Structure 1
Amino acid sequence: MVLKRFAELSTPLVADACMRAGVGLRVAPAGVVGVVPGGRVAGRVLPVRHYGSVDVFLEAYGAAAPGDVLVIDNGGRTDEACVGDLAVLEARAAGIAGVVVWGLHRDTPELVEIGLPVFSYGSLPLGPLRLDGREPEALATARFGPHLVSAADAVFADADGVLFVPGARLDEVLETAAGIARTERSQAERIRSGDTLRRQTSFEEFLERRAADPGYSFRQHLRRVGGAIEE
């Protein structure tokens, strides 16, 4: 299960792993946060586009597999909340692991009580006052910022934000992220024990090499010495 594999990781680690593995980064625009601080979720994308009515969510739930994450495309709108307590309760009943919204939510106290991870750009009391025409792709793809996602993708969300990874590269990315995590944990423990990061990364050597070769980057150096500060 994707969420179980994500338990010891984070979105920054997954992002670094994508860069190391050459997987194109699809990171949501900054500002998406969990309704409950510290919440996190990961799973296959269950895409849906919102047009002003909850019916499209209910239809999407019929195709959900346990552990899917509902990714709602509401165009990043800030003039309405597109999801609330009843839709989230029904999502939980359908076996969905969490909800990620390109837009706003409402019913915050009820969502906290329900406990299903919900990520959005914030809350607003007002629900939709519109009913737009439905696109053929309503249940096939969802936009999230500049990115288009589908059930062929996995989504990861935590306190640092949201990103998407192609399902076909998921195992590779998660294995790479786990390796980076091990390296970073080791580096952190060594810093706490008095072995500075500058010494661990042979920073003086880097400065000398850069002086001789201005094109020598710190990222190149880190890869040569086995560091994992940045990609």
Structure 2
Amino acid sequence: MLKAFAELSTPLVADACVRLGVAVRVAPVGARAVVAGARVAGRVLPVRHYGSVDVFLEAYAEARDGDVLVIDNGGRTDEACVGDLAVLEARAAGVAGIVVWGLHRDTPELVEIGLPVFSYGALPLGPVRLDDREPEAPLSVKFGPHPVGAGDVVFADADGVLFVPADRLAEVLEAAGAIARTERAQAGRIASGDTLRRQTAFDEYLERRAADPSYTFRQHLRRVGGAIEE
């Protein structure tokens, strides 16, 4: 999965979802990699945190190589729910990375471990609560407003985190690759002096829009074969 993502980015995947009509489930703004430049992509291994690391250990027992642990801690900012030992155990279980709707701690140790971890920040304090568990917790979680489960794939990089249904993955990656190729070609032409306005026949677009106010730039890009917005 990460190999397929290597030449892509979360903006390209998001644009591909828009183009294909796939619901775009983007994590709330603010998710950042503990190690700058880290990237991860893989099947979602969902877990809901209740105040104890036992939920992580249970999840690791079900992990497949390359899974990404997605932790629902409700976006809490009063506790860090994952630290160095949980991350070390994740690596030992073959987990490719961790994405947390919440906070982490043990930042220097996580940097040394090097496993991609995305969270909303660091806090010294771990959980001091222990909540009752719901029976469906291992099957699905929430990440911001979005339901996420084992039937999803997660992508994370410097631009953020998003989720794609596994059964649409192949077509989303194919579309993202096509958009990437078009954008790279456009960027090369701009560098050579061929402006984006000329490439996209922008004057023609303005003329058509004047005649037909319902004509959108997105429609125009699709007609001329450009890729900017999606």
Shorter chain as denominator, the TM-score bin is over 0.9
Alignment RMSD (CA, Å): 0.5
Task: State the SS of the aligned residue for 1:123.
Answer: coil
Q: Residue in 1 aligned with 2:9? A: 10
The reply to whether residue 208 of structure 1 matches residue 207 of structure 2 is: yes
Pairing of 1:160-175 with structure 2 (within 5 A): 160-175=159-174
**1:72 Cα offset (Å):** 0.1
Normalised to the residue count of structure 1, the TM-score between the two structures is 0.99
Q: Secondary structure at the match of 1:124?
A: coil
Cα shift at 1:42: 0.3
Alignment match, 1:116: 115
The residue identity in structure 1 corresponding to 2:60 is Y
Deviation at 1:137, TM superposition (A): 1.6
Q: Secondary structure at the match of 1:138?
A: coil
Q: Which amino acid aligns with 2:160?
A: G
1:227 paired to 2:226: yes
Question: How far off is 1:138 after superposition?
Answer: 1.8
Q: Which amino acid aligns with 2:129?
A: R
C-alpha deviation, 1:142, in angstroms = 1.2
Map 1:1-231 to 2 at 5 A.
2-231=1-230
Q: CA deviation at 1:122?
A: 0.3
Inter-partner Cα distance in structure 2 for 1:135 and 1:123: 27
Deviation at 1:175, TM superposition (A): 0.4
Q: Which runs of 5+ in 2 are unaligned?
A: none
Secondary structure of 1:184's counterpart equals helix
CA distance in 2, matches of 1:188, 1:95: 38
What SS does structure 1 have at the residue aligned with 2:209?
Answer: helix
SS in 2 for 1:157: strand
Aligned residues: 230
1:219 deviates by 0.2
SS at 1:66 equivalent = coil
Q: Offset at 1:139?
A: 1.1
Using structure 2 for the length normalisation, give the TM-score.
0.99
SS in structure 1 at match of 2:178: helix
Instruction: Give the 3-state SS of the residue equivalent to 2:41 in structure 1.
Output: strand
Measured in 1, the distance between the counterparts of 2:122 and 2:219 equals 43
What's the secondary structure of 1:113's corresponding residue?
Answer: helix
In structure 1, what is the Cα distance between the partners aligned to 2:52 and 2:216? Answer: 52
SS at match of 2:94: coil
Tell me the distance in 2 between the aligned counterparts of 1:112 and 1:98.
13
Instruction: Tell me the amino acid that sits aligned with residue 212 of structure 2.
Output: D
Name structure 1 gaps, 5 residues minimum: none
